[in-house]
Each structure stands twice: as C-alpha cells, then as structure tokens.
C-alpha cells in the first residue's frame, strides 16, 4: 500500500537566504493575485474564467514582457504551482457539493508567503537542495523516508520552514483488533467515548485569549509600522503559532491512541461549516444572540473537530480500520438502553435520564453509545 505523508522542518537561514525566499514567495504571490484579478474581472463581465492551461500561456507572455519580465527570475514550476492552486480554488468554488467554499481571495505580503517545488528537490543528511536557490540546512528531527513528491517552503512567525510530501510503500494494512468505539464530540468535553471515557479539551485558544487581547490592545495603541509595532505584531503571530501547535499536538496524540486501539470509530457526521456560520444576519434580518453564537463558534473551532476527523481517517486507514460517520440528529436525545427518543430525557448539559426506562448516564457517554449503535446498524446493512 502506498501512502502520502508529510514531514516539516525549520530551515537554517541567513539574511541572503531570507531575501531569496521572500523574493520567490513574492513572485508566486504576484502571479496568484494577477491571475485572480483577471478572472474576477471576467466574472464581472459574465465571461468564462481562464483555467490552468490558459493561464500558463499568459504566464509565458508575462515573463517575456518588459513590465513583468522580473517573473523570469523565479523557478517556472513555482509560478505554475500557484496557478494550479488558483485553478483548484475556483473549481471548489463552483463545485455544488461544496456549497460553503468561498471565492479565492488575494494574498497579502507577510501573511501568505509560501512557494512549492513539485520536483527537483534533494535531501543530503541535514541539507536540502531547492531549485534555483541551492543547498539549505534544516533542523532534522527525524528521518524522511520514501520518495519526495513535492516540497513547500513557508514563512511562519519564527522563521522559514520546509514541508516534504513523501510517498511511502507500506505493507497492506491488517487490523489487529475488532474493537469498535463511538465518539461524541463536544466543547466542555472534547470527546466522550462509548466506553465511558471523557476526554478533557486542550482549549488552546481559550487559554490564550487574555494574553492575545492584551497584545492586540497594545498593538492598537502603537504607531503603525514603527519598530515597536512590528515587535508586538510578531509576538501576536508567535502566540497564534503556539496555539495552533498546541492544538495540533493534542489532536495527533489522541487520534494515534484511538486508531491503534480500535478498528472502527463511529462519529457524528457534523456539518462544522454550517455550525460555525456567523449569526450577524443582515440589516433587514438581523441575527439573534450574536455574541453568544460568536462565543460558541470560537469554542467549536478551537477544538479542531474537522482536523481530528481527518487525522483519524488516515491513521485508521493505515492500520486497516475506518471511520464510520452516522447521522447526528437525535443522538443526544435517544436512550442507549431502550432506544426511546425524547428531548425531555436530557435533563441538563451532563445528565441523561430516560423518561421511559429510567436509564441514567452522563449525557455525552450515552450519545457516544447511540452513535456506536447507529454505526453497527449501518455496517450491517
């Protein structure tokens, strides 16, 4: 079985290398923004947009022109990869199966600095050879197995990173367990299992909100683009980076633990995009309880439900297991003992007491058991 895995390392840069990276990222960003502007103008005129092959033809003309000749300094495939990304973004926008996908947006300097090499990348111990840049050292924390399919260089708050996407040949997966488990995801409890375990959430963003608010107030008082303003903005970026890494580490460890112990994981099929939509509404139809809904949206996104599900899917696949999504409606109001459904059975946030049979249990654990029961029915069908 062939699988795709990613490995990310921090690069050892010099001022000269940093300028080279920034220039390459700037050229890639320019191509994205120019092609996006072109297609948005065509959409306004109700003309068909230009797709990847047409844009590549334009790119050749831009590189030959006097005005945009500087693009010839960049690696041609780096620019083509940005056009591919834009092509995919527009395809997703027009995909009826992805109604929540938004129109591509313009990329900003310092926020969207990245570029990708689809080939020509070589690793020699603790160095990587990047086309048109040369050999660059990196902090190698683990081996990179398999065949490198592509490499992406990205600027983050504390420096430049390289991510390798590699293809690895693994033995065909055979699950060493027949265990099945149901998970009920939440906010106060990250996940309750059908085995009765309650997983405490890491709340990476929630725990950093006060510090984040203080830094943002400090930034607002400082003169824009001053040295102190830049330092504060960088501190905010590093805090966001820490929040993301804390969440990512928590989700990786939990998903690894579950995927190694169970062959089937049952989850509610949750439309997270719909659940976290803004409640502001419009001038004609203003939203209700906007502040409370905003807080709930932030809490849901802080948990990383979708990322957790993706991690479970690929890890279970490598272990010979699978994720079974089941319909979400009614799981919190259905009794896992007798199957009776009644909203009155959910007496509080944490307590479930069936009005028919009297079964009493932690509400989230009861829901996890119902989710598992639905998965078993689905698998037996």
> Is there a catalytic annotation at residue 54?
no
Q: Which of 113, 184, 302, 309 is catalytic?
A: 184
pTM assigned to the model = 0.89
Which mean pLDDT values do the consecutive 10-residue runs of the chain (381 residues) have? 95 98 98 98 96 98 96 97 98 84 92 95 97 97 96 97 96 84 96 98 95 98 97 97 97 97 96 73 58 82 96 95 96 98 96 98 98 97 83
Tabulate helix, strand, coil % of the chain (nearest 5): 45, 20, 35
The residues near 138 (Cβ < 8 Å, ≥ 6 apart) are 9, 10, 11, 12, 126, 127, 128, 162
Q: What pLDDT is recorded for position 368?
A: 98
Please name the residue that has the structure tokens 């690894």.
256
100-158: pLDDT as tens digits: 688 999 999 988 899 999 999 999 999 999 999 999 999 999 999 999 999 999 999 99
Q: Which two structure tokens, joined as six digits, stand for 262?
A: 């169970």
Buried b (16+ CB within 10 A) or exposed e, 150-184: bbbbbbbeeebbbebbbeeeeeeeeeeeeebbbbb
Task: Identify the CA nearest to 33 among candidates 89, 75, 77.
Answer: 89
Q: What pLDDT is recorded for position 324?
A: 98
Q: Which of 302, 309, 361, 364 is catalytic?
A: 364
Q: Tell me the domain boundaries of the chain.
A: 2-169, 180-200+258-380
Q: What pLDDT is recorded for position 283?
A: 46
- The residues facing 134 across adjacent strands are 130
Residues comprising the chain, all counted? 381
> Is there a catalytic annotation at residue 249?
no
Q: What pLDDT is recorded for position 273?
A: 77
> Is there a catalytic annotation at residue 184?
yes
């Amino acid at each position: 079985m062939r699988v795709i895995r990613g490995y990310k390392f921090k690069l050892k840069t010099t001022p000269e290398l940093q300028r080279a990276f920034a220039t390459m990222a700037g050229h890639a960003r320019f191509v994205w923004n120019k092609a996006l502007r072109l297609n948005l103008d065509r959409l306004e005129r109700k003309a068909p947009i230009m797709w990847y092959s047409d844009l590549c033809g334009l790119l050749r003309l831009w590189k030959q022109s006097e005005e945009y000749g500087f693009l010839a300094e960049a690696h041609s495939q780096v620019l083509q990869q940005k056009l591919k990304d834009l092509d995919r973004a527009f395809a997703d926008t027009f995909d009826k199966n992805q109604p929540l996908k938004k129109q591509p947006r313009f990329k900003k300097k310092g926020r969207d600095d990245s570029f990708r090499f689809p080939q020509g990348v070589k690793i020699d111990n603790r160095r990587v050879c990047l086309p048109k840049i040369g050999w660059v050292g990196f902090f190698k924390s683990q081996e990179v197995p398999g065949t490198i399919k592509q490499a992406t260089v990205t600027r983050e708050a504390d420096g430049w990173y390289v991510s390798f996407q590699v293809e690895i040949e693994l033995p065909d997966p055979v699950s060493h367990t027949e265990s099945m488990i149901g998970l009920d995801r939440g906010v106060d409890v990250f996940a309750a299992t059908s085995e009765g375990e309650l997983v405490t959430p890491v709340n990476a963003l929630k725990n950093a909100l006060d510090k984040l608010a203080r830094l943002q107030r400090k930034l607002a008082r400082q003169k824009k683009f001053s040295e102190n303003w830049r330092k504060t903005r960088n501190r905010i970026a590093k805090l966001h980076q820490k929040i993301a890494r804390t969440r990512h580490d928590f989700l990786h460890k939990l998903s690894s633990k579950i995927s190694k112990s169970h062959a089937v994981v049952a989850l509610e099929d949750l439309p997270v995009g719909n659940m976290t939509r803004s409640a502001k509404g419009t001038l004609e139809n203003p939203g209700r309880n906007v502040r409370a809904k905003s807080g709930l949206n932030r809490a849901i996104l802080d948990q990383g439900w979708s990322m957790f599900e993706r991690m479970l899917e690929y890890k279970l696949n490598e272990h010979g297991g699978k994720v079974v999504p089941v319909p979400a409606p009614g799981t919190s109001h259905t009794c896992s003992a007798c199957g009776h459904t009644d909203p009155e059975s959910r007496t509080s946030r944490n307590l479930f007491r069936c009005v028919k049979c009297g079964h009493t249990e932690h509400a989230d654990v009861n829901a996890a058991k119902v989710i598992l029961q639905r998965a078993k029915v689905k698998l037996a069908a």
